[in-house]
Amino acid sequence: MEQIESLPSITPRHFTPNKPFDFSKEAQYDGRLLHHADIPPPRALSRGKVEVRARKARDRAQRMLGFFDNEVLEFQSPHAFSYFAARRLEYLGARNSRSYPDFIAGIKAQRMKRFSNSSPNPFSIRIFTDDNQKILSAFQYRAPDDMIRSNRLLVAEGRRPDVLEQPGRSAPRRKGQHHLIPENLRLQYLHAVQGLLSVLPPEKVESSRRHGAVDGSYQTSHYFTHRGWDGKQDLTPERKGTLHIVPCWTQQGRPLHTMTPSAAFTANGCATAALENFYSQGVELHIWLDAIMEHEFPTQYPAFKKAHEAGRWYESDPGPHLGRVIVWKLGSEDHLDHADAIPTVVYTLSGNYVGGFMDLLDIGTRLEYGPGALIAGFFGHLWHVVTPHEDRLCNPDPRYLELGLTPGRVSVVNYFPTDAFHQLHDKSGGWGRRTLYGRLEDPEEVDRGWVSKRT
Residue 6 falls inside a structural domain? no
C-alpha atoms less than 13 angstroms from C-alpha of 366 in its C-beta half-sphere: 17
Q: Are residues 149 and 191 in the same domain?
A: no
Residue 264 is part of a domain; what is its CATH number? 3.60.130
Q: Quick check: 80 pLDDT over 80?
A: yes
In this prediction the pTM is 0.91
Spatial separation of the C-alpha atoms in residues 50 and 47, rounded to whole Å: 8
Mean pLDDT for the stretch of residues 203-226: 69
Taking CA atoms, 370 is separated from 10, 47, 121, 359, 410, in Å, by 43, 27, 11, 13, 11
Mean pLDDT for the stretch of residues 394-410: 93
pLDDT tens-digit readout, 124-175: 999 999 999 999 999 999 999 999 999 999 999 999 999 999 988 777 777 6
Spatial separation of the C-alpha atoms in residues 245 and 414, rounded to whole Å: 10
Find how far residue 124's CA is from the centre of its chain: 18
Residue 141 falls inside a structural domain? yes
Residue 47 falls inside a structural domain? no
89 vs 253, residue with greater confidence: 89
Q: Which residues 6+ apart lie within 8 Å of 372 measured at CB?
A: 178, 180, 181, 182, 183, 186, 347, 348, 349
Spatial separation of the C-alpha atoms in residues 325 and 383, rounded to whole Å: 18
Q: Are residues 278 and 382 in the same domain?
A: yes
Q: Are residues 391 and 310 in the same domain?
A: yes
Give the model's confidence band at 443: pLDDT under 50 very low, under 70 low, under 90 confident, else very high: confident
Question: What's the pLDDT score for residue 23?
Answer: 75
Is the previous residue joined to 320 through a cis bond, with omega within 30 degrees of 0? yes
Q: Which residues 6+ apart lie within 8 Å of 311 measured at CB?
A: 247, 248, 259, 322, 420, 424, 427, 431, 432, 437
Give the model's confidence band at 72: pLDDT under 50 very low, under 70 low, under 90 confident, else very high: very high
Host domain of residue 393:
187-435
Alpha-carbon torsion 188, 194, 197, 199, what sign? negative
pLDDT tens-digit readout, 195-213: 999 999 988 776 454 555 5
Percent of the chain, pLDDT > 70? 91
Percent of the chain, pLDDT > 90? 66
Mean pLDDT for the stretch of residues 307-318: 94
Question: What's the pLDDT score for residue 169?
Answer: 75
Q: Quick check: 455 pLDDT over 50?
A: no
pLDDT tens-digit readout, 14-65: 555 556 677 777 788 777 666 667 899 999 988 888 888 888 888 888 888 8
Residue 65 falls inside a structural domain? yes
What domain count does the chain have? 2
Q: Quick check: 310 pLDDT over 60?
A: yes
Q: Are residues 323 and 195 in the same domain?
A: yes
Question: What's the pLDDT score for residue 427?
Answer: 94
Q: Are residues 139 and 271 in the same domain?
A: no
